[in-house]
Amino acid sequence: MKPISGFSKMSKVEKIDYIVENILKGDNRSKELIKSFWHSNDKLQSVLDDFSENTLTNFYFPFGVMPNLMINGQLYCVPMAIEESSVVAAASKSAKYWLERGGFKADVVDMKKIGQVHLYWPGKASKLIEFFTSKIDILREACAPITANMEKRGGGLLDLELRDKTDLDESYFQIWASFNTVDAMGANFINSVLERLGKSFRALVFEEESFTGYEKDLQVVMAILSNYTPECLVRATVECPIEMLEDKNVGMSPEEFARKFERAVRISRMDVNRATTHNKGIFNGIDAVILATGNDFRAIEACGHTFAARDGQYRGLTTCSIKDGMFNFTLEIPMALGTVGGLTSLHPMAKFSLELLGKPDAAELMKIVACSGLAQTFAAVRSLVTSGIQKGHMKMHLMNILNHLEASDDEREKVRDKFEEEIISFNGIRDYLQELRNY
């Protein structure tokens, strides 16, 4: 393969031809494969193409639902886009389990988002901070053309301050701004305001008569939102009397189950290896809903993991308590989401997902997503401390293997019978199918 310039300028068909000729050695089957995933509706395909660059085709993902998720007394059927088998099944099982025990409770603690302009200025910190504070009204005024619309919708630029960061690096300061972006994720809005703040403040410093020489030169390194939004926080909880945890499928008393579950959650808060896996289980549920609703799962993940390490050690994001006969399992997680703008209205399936959820506002979606994460991790930890995770996983794994080996219905039944009590492996099943087919 050779480097190429001008690839992005080629048409989609030219790009495919180029790749097939130059990378896939002219294998036309690949061309057919790529084209077979194009949408039959050209207009829709061109919308999908334009979400990204150098698009060749679509990459399919299963889109499923978790019915029966009751949050604060309201029932939801939650859309989930995820490729990992058993996630939707486990979350759905958990939703049903808690439906029979009072459902999930959720509340939004706050919805504040953060942006920073990173500055270098080689003067006395107190002088710049005093100057900035005296110019806040002018800076707000400079941003008014950008903030006016957001203000009409009930949001806008909240607090504005200059932070002295010279303890981290010589001459380093930050304009620290907080925002309410209402139902929009608000990245473009925040970044536009920040860029305007940076430029305006630099100009004000340059024009200021009491600043001389090097003091005139305020350097703006960058202006960008922070994806760490600990004050855009949602809390999701399930709670019930311990005896209500009684479940004949788990093979232990509700007291023993609660104790083992609480210990497992405690371990996730003490041990970084377990914490990572535990949080992965939470994000199995969260990411699937984030993707289905057209939100940015990378931002949510990055923020969640930083929050998990906020006291200096990476910990599991949930807590579990057993107190006065009550079992409580809670997830607290920051989550900057949008239900208007961006992909939420452009991607037909994201739009459909929001309709399925009853067109929630951003706060309501935060609750739905957090409860989906809690449902998912409840199912995972429940399996881990009872039957073990492999029982459920292997059932789904078996289905994938059977699909891969293109087993007929009859073969599937025979394989299921044979492997009921045996260890499931790709090779074992392939060999058994071979035996059946040769027979």
Q: Which is nearer to ligand MEV, 41 or 277 (CB)?
A: 277
Q: Is residue 280 flagged as an active site residue? A: yes
Binding interface with ligand MEV (CB under 6 A)? 84, 277-278, 280-281, 284, 377, 380-381, 384, 389
431 is catalytic: no
**The one-letter amino acid at 411:** E
Close Cβ partners of 12 (under 8 Å, ≥ 6 residues apart):
49, 55, 56
Largest CA distance in the chain: 95
User: Which residue in the list 84, 100, 361, 431 is annotated as catalytic?
Assistant: 84
Under DSSP, the state recorded for 244 is G
Residues contacting 344, CB < 8 A, separation 6+: 293, 294, 295, 338, 350, 351, 354
The torsion defined by the Cα of 432, 434, 438 and 439, in degrees rounded to 10, comes to 20
Which residue among 12, 39, 260, 393 is the active-site one?
393
Q: Cβ closer to ligand MEV: 68 or 284?
A: 284
Q: What is the dihedral of CA 87, 89, 92, 94, to 10 degrees?
A: -80
Q: What is the smallest separation between the CB atom of 96 and ligand MEV, expressed in angstroms?
A: 19
84 counts as catalytic:
yes
Least CB distance from residue 89 to ligand MEV, whole Å? Answer: 12
Q: Out of 35, 127, 152, 280, which one is annotated catalytic?
A: 280
Q: Which is nearer to ligand MEV, 88 or 190 (CB)?
A: 88
- Closest separation in Å from C-beta 420 to ligand MEV: 23
Rounded to 5 degrees, φ, ψ at 408 are -75, 170
CB of 309 to ligand MEV, least distance (A): 18
Kindly state the smallest distance separating residue 265's Cβ from ligand MEV, in Å: 10
**HEC readout, 367-386:** HHHHHHHHHHHHHHHHHHHC
Residue 83 is among the residues annotated as catalytic for this protein: no
Report residue 56 as tokens: 């060749």
Nearest 5°: phi and psi at 185?
-60, -40
Is 173 within 8 Å of 121 (Cβ atoms)? yes
Pick between residue 363 and residue 384 the one whose CB is nearest to ligand MEV: 384
Residue 80 or 336 with smaller CB distance to ligand MEV: 80
Closer to ligand MEV by CB, 79 or 285: give it. Answer: 285
Closest-CB residue for ligand MEV?
281
Q: Catalytic pick from 183, 262, 296, 364?
A: 296
Q: Quick count: other Cβ atoms within 10 Å of Cβ 326?
A: 13
Cα separations (Å) of 197 from 33, 122, 176, 186, 193?
A: 49, 19, 10, 16, 6
Distance of closest approach, residue 83 Cβ to ligand MEV, in angstroms: 11
Nearer to ligand MEV, 57 or 276 (CB): 276
Q: Shortest Cβ distance from residue 331 to ligand MEV (Å)?
A: 13
CA distance 405 to 130: 71
**Own/partner pairs for 263-269, CB < 8 Å, 24+ apart?**
263/385, 264/381, 264/384, 264/385, 265/316, 265/318, 265/319, 265/320, 265/329, 265/381, 266/320, 268/315, 268/316, 268/318, 269/315, 269/316, 269/319
Residues with active-site annotation: 84, 280, 296, 393
